[in-house]
Amino acid sequence: MSQGQQARTWSAPAWPKDTLRIAFGVIWLIDATLKWLPGFRSSYMSVIMGEAHGQPGWLRPWFDFWIRFQHPDAMILAYLAAVIETLIAVALVIGFARKLTYLSAIAFSLLIWGTAEGFGGPYTSGASDIGTAIIYAVVFAGLLMLSYYGGPARYSADYYLEKKISWWWRIAETRRPAPAQAAASAAPAAPEAQATLARPA
């Protein structure tokens, strides 16, 4: 096989992107575990209300809406946040419905950033960071792009579900997986092998 053919058939190993996904899932699992502790539920509403202080006036309606929306059922919503983070963490670790998980996690992270983290603000003198949830959203977007360019994840539940359920790729992959390349790459090689055998010594 020529060097050009080797370059065309070479593909990156699957384990680095899967390792990144699983490691990030473990981080989310630790964070989700902390959300199940009583301290998170007891301070949930006070954190939301505290982030509203010092925000610019044009953001006041946004925070007032979320405070009014959550205040009557703060305990239920605190449990809901813990459940969502746990589901995201488990889906990341096992590689379940990756595209749906990444998109949902981006939306959830942006919502947390815009409410519980107050968009990372208020941006006054002494502000030191823009919040962690926006960084999580960027990481999930990066995983989504890796899924697009890297294709199916070998070490994931999706890899096996796609073999059993024909439509599963729609919620697991960012694009339809290409047919297996093993047979395609072997087909051109066969005439070469036959020609080599038929060539006189």
What are the structure tokens assigned to 158, written together? 């999706």
Mean pLDDT computed over 89-108: 97
pTM over 0.85: no
| 180 confidence band (pLDDT: 50, 70, 90) | low
* DSSP string for 140-174: HHHHHHHHHHH-S-SSSHHHHHHHH-TTTHHHH-S
- DSSP annotation of 121: -
Peptide bond into 188 cis (omega under 30): no
Q: Tell me: the pLDDT tens digits for 114-166?
A: 998 888 876 666 667 788 899 999 999 999 999 998 888 889 999 999 999 99
What are the structure tokens assigned to 90, written together? 């488990």
What integer pLDDT is reported at residue 53 of this predicted model?
82
